[in-house]
């Protein structure tokens, strides 16, 4: 069943008249609000290379609850930097897991559809899809991507490919050519590349949309099963990952951000998930924690020897002076059997 379109929010009516301030003025503002800044030059250097706007959300946990944004008496500039560095490390760790999961989903989709229907170009057949308009949009994406890629290939590489012998082509191909480029400058038909090239060129949002638009639920189920979940969970989790990946790719704040979309909690005992009673409190379900659990659940299937859980544990244990409530991480989270078995196995390696 299609989801109803969400109404757009109305624009605000106030006038924005805040002036642009110099870095010196911004450091003075932080100091006037009570933030301890022992080394002004160092603070200026960090603001110059990070930006006040990007750093300012990390000051909020250290502020008093007043309209003037005053800081608590013990708050220091290094506390803000430590939280910023923690969030950066968290983004990199989440992206590491997302990369493995995303690659596995791409492989599962193209392997299943290409072999089941014995057609490397299955995605061009509208009979595989619910919405013909969305399918037409997919084909437009493929054509536009191919045209752009063809235009961006250096002329020297094209000339080598068509005129030179194999030994002369090898060096240029190693330097410049991707698999999609190779297809486009080597083959004239079929017009569109095989699915294993197409799927690799899709964004994670386009990948999710393609899977979501498959006509036969058996196909969706097969893709989901290959990475250790069922079809409803794959749909829910991919929707969440689109949002999370965009935040990470744009270096946005992750640790306490409101995602707006969260992974469904599995009910089937066959799905790798938390075991303890109360291991996922209600307050945690709309935080980052279920995203972290879902990523480890998929890693259990696609990368079972991964040290990701161990690295997550190390990061959260060595976190800056803060609690994990904003992430939705419960106290003694690592004691749950779901996490404990990964941490125990890492000790034995």
- Residue 285, both tokens: 């379900």
Contacts of 268 (CB under 8 A, 6+ apart): 230
- What is the per-residue pLDDT across 217-271, written as a single tens digit (0 to 9) for each? 999 999 999 999 999 999 999 999 999 999 999 999 999 999 999 999 999 999 9
Alpha helices per DSSP H over the chain? 23-32, 40-50, 52-55, 77-116, 132-152, 155-163, 166-176, 179-186, 195-201, 204-212, 217-225, 231-249, 289-302, 308-317, 337-348
- Residue 74, both tokens: 């013990």
Residue 345, CA atoms < 13 Å, CB-side half-sphere:
14
The DSSP-derived string for 264-331 is: PPP-STTS----STTSS-GGGTTSSHHHHHHHHHHHHHH-TT--HHHHHHHHHHT--S--SGGGTPPT
Q: What is the model's pTM?
A: 0.89
Name the burial class of residue 77, with classes exposed (0-12), middle (13-18) and buried (19+) by CB atoms within 10 angstroms of its CB: buried
Domain extent listing, the chain: 85-105+223-348, 121-193
- Residue 230, both tokens: 């069922």
Name the burial class of residue 96, with classes exposed (0-12), middle (13-18) and buried (19+) by CB atoms within 10 angstroms of its CB: middle
Per-residue pLDDT tens digits of the chain, which is 349 residues long: 455 556 678 999 999 999 999 999 999 999 999 999 999 999 999 999 999 999 999 999 999 988 899 999 999 999 999 999 999 999 999 999 999 999 999 999 999 999 999 999 999 999 999 999 999 999 999 999 999 998 887 765 555 455 545 555 555 555 557 899 989 999 999 999 999 999 999 999 999 999 999 999 999 999 999 999 999 999 999 999 999 999 999 999 999 999 999 999 999 999 999 998 889 999 999 999 999 999 999 999 999 999 999 999 999 999 877 779 899 999 899 999 999 999 986 555 5
Query: Could you give phi then psi for residue 111, rounded to 5 degrees?
Result: -65, -45
């Amino acid at each position: 069943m299609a989801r109803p379109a969400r109404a757009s929010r109305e624009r605000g009516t106030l006038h924005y008249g805040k002036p642009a301030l110099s870095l010196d003025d911004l450091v003075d503002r932080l100091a006037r609000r009570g933030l301890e800044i022992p080394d002004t030059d160092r603070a200026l250097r960090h603001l110059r290379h990070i930006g006040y706007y990007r750093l300012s959300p990390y000051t909020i946990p250290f502020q008093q609850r007043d309209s003037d944004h005053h800081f608590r008496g013990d708050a220091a500039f290094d506390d803000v930097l430590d939280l910023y560095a923690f969030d950066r490390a968290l983004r990199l760790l989440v992206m590491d897991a997302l990369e493995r999961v995303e690659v596995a989903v791409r492989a599962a989709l193209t392997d299943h559809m290409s072999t089941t229907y014995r057609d490397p170009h299955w995605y061009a057949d509208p009979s595989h899809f619910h919405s013909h308009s969305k399918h037409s949009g997919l084909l437009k994406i493929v054509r536009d991507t191919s045209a752009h890629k063809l235009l961006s290939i250096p002329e020297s590489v094209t000339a080598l490919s068509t005129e030179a012998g194999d030994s002369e082509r090898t060096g240029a191909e190693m330097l410049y050519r991707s698999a999609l480029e190779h297809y486009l400058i080597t083959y004239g038909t079929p017009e569109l590349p095989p699915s294993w090239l197409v799927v690799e060129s899709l964004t994670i949002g386009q990948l999710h949309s393609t899977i979501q638009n498959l006509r036969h639920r058996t196909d969706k189920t097969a893709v989901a099963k290959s990475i250790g979940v069922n079809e409803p969970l794959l749909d829910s989790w991919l929707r969440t990952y689109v949002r999370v990946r965009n935040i990470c790719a744009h270096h946005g704040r992750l640790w306490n951000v409101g995602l707006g979309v969260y992974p469904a909690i599995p009910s089937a005992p066959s799905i790798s998930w938390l075991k303890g009673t109360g291991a996922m409190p209600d307050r945690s379900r709309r935080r980052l924690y279920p995203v972290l659990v879902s990523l480890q659940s998929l890693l259990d299937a696609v990368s079972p020897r991964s040290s990701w859980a161990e690295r997550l544990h190390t990061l959260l244990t060595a976190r800056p002076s803060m609690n994990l409530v904003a992430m939705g991480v419960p106290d003694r989270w690592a004691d749950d059997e779901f996490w404990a078995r990964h941490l125990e196995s890492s000790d034995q390696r």
